[in-house]
Amino acid sequence: MEINGPVLDTTPLSATYIQTAPPPLDAPTLVDRLKVDVAVVGGGYTGLSTALRLAESGGRVAVLEAREVGWGGSGRAFGQVVPYAKHDDAAVLKHFGPQWGERLVAGLAGGPDLVFGLITQHEISCEAVRAGLIFAAHNQAAIAGLDQRARFWRDRGADVELVARDVVIALTGSRYYEAALLDHRGGTLNPLGYARGLAWAAIRGGAMLFENSRVIGLNQTGGGWRLVTARGEVNAAQVVLATDAYTDDLWPGLRQSLIPLRAYQLVSAPLSENLRRSVLPGGQSLSDTRRLYSGIRRRADGRLHLSVDGPAFSNTGTAFAAKSSKRLRDLFPQIGELAWEHAVAGWVGMTEDQYPHIHRLAPGLIAAIGLSGRGIAFGTLLGRDVFRRLTGVPEHDWMLPDTPLRPIRVKPVARPLVGALLNTYRLLDRWDLRHNAAG
């Protein structure tokens, strides 16, 4: 894959998600001329959440998706619904300043309520489990950071606690960790199921949705915008670009504002009934404080689902299976060897500051991209933030500020730089695990 070109996804959506997701939309291809209030480009959480709200508020809205709903990150995520950004809350407040920082921290804290609320409201069948998230300390130094995070949230009345080794063992079945943060607000789901459920809800609400309808032209007209696909055309007063890592060259400079990174997961054969009683028996998802790839969750059918390492810039690469098996052995020696039966891979859209951005590209043209690997709750919230802008909600009720479109400064050398950074993180994680492992 050429890092400086748009990324494609030739990997099909994974059977592990298709099996328990609502049926595909099988939406029509656009072959007509249409006139709408808002055209949304991209059928992932950000675009679908925008479209759902617009449709429910009576707007005429069309979603145009190049492939099928959930073809991007939204059908390929690991499945954690997290009430935080990538960075810790103190860093968010510092980066955005007290006013916007507070809005973002508070907005993200409400993300799981929003997601699980939509799932209940629209009866979306997507393996939703709101049993909380465990963030375990991978070494002694990390415990202090988790303690600080727990205090930050407890001071704000959130249901977050620091738990000691015996509780971690009971919750996870692993003797590897000394302490962990248990955040009762988060949970997990089948990402493809959630994306399809949002799309079905948007259609029921009155949105039009077109699949296999890549937008290949975007021009300003007297009254708004003209979007051109291979066989049709949409005239829209306003346009939302919600294409995240899969952003192509539809708008100059947009793709250059992020770096796509490939991320991977592996799903094991089902655990025996006996092991299911001790390995993550409460249904929480387990991550640790290492820098890279630590998520593990147990699916309803008893399989372990891991976020794992793999080639960061390859469209056709596969996850590092041997490394993933070793990690499983380290954490759960009682399990023994487990076969990997499913794989998931997709592109994450990283921005330079690792926050998503909302750009006003021109009058009536908004882009909301750069989810940086945190998009199930954040993308749903981002769609709501875009909706608020489109419908004239005043700025003090937005979660994120608008930011100017800027290319990533290091984009021409991004591949070697990011590659080197990932290798450094891999080494540091290995070092930490060897020298500081708590258990």
Ligand X SMILES: Cc1cc2nc3c(=O)[nH]c(=O)nc-3n(C[C@H](O)[C@H](O)[C@H](O)COP(=O)(O)OP(=O)(O)OC[C@H]3O[C@@H](n4cnc5c(N)ncnc54)[C@H](O)[C@@H]3O)c2cc1C
Check: CB of residue 39 under 8 Å from CB of residue 214.
no
By three-state DSSP, how is residue 338 classified?
coil
| Shortest separation between residue 394's beta carbon and ligand X, angstroms | 24
Q: Closer to ligand X at the Cβ: 325 or 380?
A: 380
DSSP letter at 228 equals E
Residue 312 within binding range of ligand X, rule CB under 6 A: no
- Secondary structure E strands in 211-252: 217-220, 225-228, 233-241
- The residues in 42-71 that bind ligand X, with binding defined as CB under 6 A, are 42-47, 64-67, 71
Q: Please provide residue 324's backbone torsions phi and psi, each rounded to the nearest 5 degrees.
A: -65, -40
CA distance 233 to 221: 13
- The residues in 247-286 that bind ligand X, with binding defined as CB under 6 A, are 248, 250, 263
What is the amino acid identity at position 173?
Answer: G
Q: Can you give the three-state secondary structure of 4-17, one letter per residue?
A: CCCCCCCCCCCHHH
Q: Which residue from 243, 257, 268, 324 is in contact with ligand X, where contact means CB under 6 A? A: 243
Q: Which residue from 61, 245, 275, 338 is in contact with ligand X, where contact means CB under 6 A? A: 245
Residue 76 within binding range of ligand X, rule CB under 6 A: yes
Report the 10 Å Cβ neighbour count for 46.
34
Residue 236 within binding range of ligand X, rule CB under 6 A: no
| Shortest separation between residue 16's beta carbon and ligand X, angstroms | 12
CA distance 246 to 236: 22
Check: CB of residue 30 under 8 Å from CB of residue 229.
yes
| Shortest separation between residue 166's beta carbon and ligand X, angstroms | 28
Q: Closer to ligand X at the Cβ: 38 or 66?
A: 66
Q: Which residue is nearest to ligand X (CB)?
A: 375
By three-state DSSP, how is residue 301 classified?
coil
CA distance 234 to 210: 11
Q: Please provide residue 227's backbone torsions phi and psi, each rounded to the nearest 5 degrees.
A: -110, 130
Residue 240 within binding range of ligand X, rule CB under 6 A: no
Residue 374 within binding range of ligand X, rule CB under 6 A: yes
What is the amino acid identity at position 102?
Answer: E
Tokens of 48: 């679908």
| Shortest separation between residue 277's beta carbon and ligand X, angstroms | 25
| Shortest separation between residue 93's beta carbon and ligand X, angstroms | 21
**CA Rg value for the chain:** 21
Residue 39 within binding range of ligand X, rule CB under 6 A: no
Residue 246 within binding range of ligand X, rule CB under 6 A: yes
Residue 115 within binding range of ligand X, rule CB under 6 A: no
CA distance 354 to 408: 11
| Shortest separation between residue 318's beta carbon and ligand X, angstroms | 13
Check: CB of residue 195 under 8 Å from CB of residue 163.
no
Residue 381 within binding range of ligand X, rule CB under 6 A: no
Q: Which residue from 187, 203, 379, 386 is in contact with ligand X, where contact means CB under 6 A? A: 379
Residue 14 within binding range of ligand X, rule CB under 6 A: no
Q: Closer to ligand X at the Cβ: 143 or 236?
A: 236
Contacts with ligand X, 322-351, as mask; x by CB under 6 A: ------------------------xxx---
Q: Closer to ligand X at the Cβ: 169 or 361?
A: 361
Residues near ligand X (CB under 6 A) are: 41-47, 64-67, 71-74, 76-80, 82, 214-215, 242-246, 248, 250, 263, 346-348, 371, 373-377, 379
